[in-house]
Amino acid sequence: MTKTAAIIGGGVIGGGWAARFTLNGWDVKVYDPDPEAERKIGEVMTNARRALPMLVDQPMPEPGSMTLCSTLEEAATGAELIVEAVPERVEIKHKVYAQIEAVNTDGIIASSTSGIMPTDLQSQMAHPGRLIVAHPFNPVYLLPLVELVAGEKTDAQHIEAAKEIYSSLGMYPLHCRVEIEGFLSDRLQEALWREALWLLHDDVATADEIDAAIAYGPGLRWAQMGTMQTFHLAGGEGGMRAMLAMFGPCLKWPWTKLMDVPELTDDFVNKVGGQCETQAGDLGPRDLERIRDDNLIGIIRSLKQNNWGAGAVARAHSNALRPAMDDTKPLLTQNRVVPVDWTDINGHMNEGRYGQIFSDAAEEVMAHVGADEAYIEGGLSYFTVETTVKYIAETHAGERVHVYTTVTQGEGKKLRCFHEMKRASDGELMATCDQFMLHVSLETRRTCDPAPDVKAKVEALAALHASE
């Protein structure tokens, strides 16, 4: 049976919740007095409908309905989960809970507060046991983290039920076992933000520079390991204990207005070091380094495709290394190492990535004949019509491979290439691809003749490659 969530407050967070619930098959009833609410939620929904299904390799459930209600009571009535996402003022929240309690006696009430203690939130409720904090992160429809916090009067069963609900929405429920203002994530974030505000305030750096100091370095690590594990690895063979010995004293340096720090007694160092070792479990430093590196490669390569941040740096570096190509027979169209994100469950290069490397090889041929990025921006390109790939020998991550390309046909709209992929170390043939392309107009999406200089170059290459 379809489940129903009420969302009280339809801003960036409430709208994000509405999207995550409906896209996972829940019916949602939203209440927000803002006359602009419908438009604002609609914009978040548009983003979410596009983005969330891309994370999932399977069909998502039939989306639930979303109803904008004209009263809070209408939204809350009958919902098994009532999500509160109203402004961060405790008196507003108390009033909202009273209105909910008047019409709904058994749904879980989940506050999206980013820092108010649930004990304070539930203090005036008739049935405070069902009040929990479920604190999400923007964009709610993509980021998995949700912090779950119980107040003194919260029934433990509701935390357990919430874990199941949020897991079923594709989230990572983190139970903050000790109730504390700001919970875990925002305390950590705000510590950084405070320091950032001081840097900006004191004209040490601009917002853009402050952000660069994170996004090109520590932020890439934080996407896959927190500070504790990151520093445990940065400590080399001595792990976190070595980091505390080396940098612990610096934490007390007068380089900030915010320097109060726990006394680094032997007991405390053992506690921190021991927890980092527990966290690592069976994974030794070499294992964790490998995992971290594979994650960083994947992250930077994904940003490279979007030409953003660290990925834009890697792209520029790649482009600067691109060798000039002469007319040879065959052309050397790829000379690269197989990255780890190209491998599959059989431990070798995924068959789809052969398609990619041959496609990349064809792009090099295109660029060589003048059908380069500027040409494509001008509205003309080649589209692939058919490929036949033969898989001859296995290819593994880290191996350097070459692709040699022969232009086997080049006349009018037609461009046909035969690619041979060889292991660089010993020249063993690993795969071949026969690729047939047609020249198209990107405006009409139909075939057309190439520009004269491209046509001439293609025909010249085909002639060269046909010669004995």
Burial degree of 443 (CB within 10 A; 0-12, 13-18, 19+):
exposed
The residue among 359 and 464 lying less far from a copy of itself, judged by its C-beta, is: 359
CB nearer a copy of itself, residue 347 or residue 452: 347
- 130 or 422, CB closer to a copy of itself? 422
Cα distance between residue 185 and residue 23, in whole Å: 26
CB 125 within 8 A of CB 92: no
273 annotated to a ligand binding site: no
197 or 463: whose CB is closer to a copy of itself?
197
**Quick check: bond before 139 cis, omega within 30?**
yes
Nearest to a copy of itself of 76, 165 (CB atom): 165
Measured CA to CA, the distance from residue 115 to residue 93 in angstroms comes to 13
CA distance 356 to 363: 10
H helix runs in 322-372, sequence order: 351-368
Does 25 belong to an annotated binding site? no
Nearer to a copy of itself, 129 or 447 (CB): 447
Amino acid residing at 38: E
Q: How far is the CB of 106 from a copy of itself (least distance, A)?
A: 27
CB of 462 to a copy of itself, least distance (A): 21
Q: Is 379 annotated as a binding residue?
A: no
Q: Which residue has the tokens 């940065």?
A: 234
Residue 10 known to bind ligand? yes
Phi first, then psi, for residue 429 (nearest 5°) are -75, 125
C-alpha distance from residue 37 to each of 41, 51, 274, 279 (Å): 6, 21, 49, 44
The token pair at 462 is 């085909």
- For 171, counting Cβ atoms within 10 Å of its Cβ (0-12 exposed, 13-18 middle, 19+ buried), the class is buried
Cis peptide preceding 128, ω within 30 of 0: no
The CA distance from 113 to 238, in Å, is 39
Of 31 and 141, CB closest to a copy of itself: 141
On whether the CB atoms of residues 145 and 175 are closer than 8 A, the answer is no
Pairing type for strands 446-447 and 400-411 reads unpaired
> Residue 5 and residue 77: Cα distance in Å, rounded?
10
Please state the residue numbers annotated as binding site.
9-14
Please state the residue numbers annotated as binding site for NAD(+).
9-14
